[in-house]
Chains A and B, each alone.
Chain A
């Protein structure tokens, strides 16, 4: 088996989402999710839906589940706060929800404005009853997403996988723009 490294983890998430039967993927773009978004957009069996704000993805996934389809939601940690009130519906209705979140404001952040939401992300999610599972290295991301998908769709939970900034490794504006 090919070793999962810093370049191939998005492909491994994509395969995991496919294997989990995910057919709708809402996303607000993030540099860390660039490759995964491209893979989802290129897949004719998946519907990748660009959102104007992360909160929309909570409703999208709820509607998909009402219609018998599994959804996933991709975002950056800065978007988590936008989802809070809508997550109340997820909890009240026990909708399954799979969120895959790339972290900012965490390890080696260069933008101070990212730090407050990034640092508050686990607490904010847990306050709304979302199970938080962290992936701190490239190898553990896909297995963590796989376990999160099983928990979400098997046990009707809202689950967020937080992909550490140590994996994404953005260190400056210049490097981010060049990605």
Chain B
């Protein structure tokens, strides 16, 4: 089934009324997507460290077991850190979701095909790694249930959301890593985070 989903709309729906959801985004398009949905100090958009988004989410989810953590990343970024799915599968954090926005392309470097364009099924990889829930999403009708699972379900959850490969305007978050870190910690831990 060919996808009809647009990435910005998908992310907007998943983050709608997000309340205190903690969000880590992989470098490139997913960092622009979460920013387009509304920049927040509880966003940690990556500008580098490709392959590490899911692991940052794991460290955060284990540190904050009472908060929901969502990692939004691209297929290329996830492919670079496939082992982290196995690592998360061992730890089984109930409060962590990893959602791959899969356009089957390396979007920032000329839209070259990634492994998923050739059929590599990341949801099956996640399932084999021990994620409690692991699914592919190709239609808008599945998004409301996915949003509910991210906000209220028992994880670890993995979703591979197939989206149209499209070139869309960049919406850039702040890029100073020190500022991104400090604003996140202050919003999560309070003003005293700076004194830690």
Contacts and interface: CB of A to CB of B under 8 A. Distances in A.
> Do chains A and B stick together as partners?
yes
Interface of A: 23-24, 47, 49-53, 55-69, 71, 85-86, 88-89, 92-95
A94 B176 CA distance: 11
A61 B59 contact: yes
Contacts of B178: 92-94
Contacts, number: 121
A93 B180 contact: yes
B58 A63 contact: yes
A89 B60 contact: no
A53 B86 CA distance: 11
Chain B, interface size: which category?
Answer: 35 or more
B63 interface: yes
A46 to B, nearest CB: 11
A52 to B, nearest CB: 3
- Interface of A, secondary structure class, is helix
A97 to B, nearest CB: 12
B81 A68 contact: no
Contacts of B181: 65-66, 93-95
Contacts of A62: 49, 52, 56, 59
Contacts of B84: 52, 56, 59
B185 interface: yes
Given A67-B63, A68-B64, A93-B180, A56 B55 contact: yes
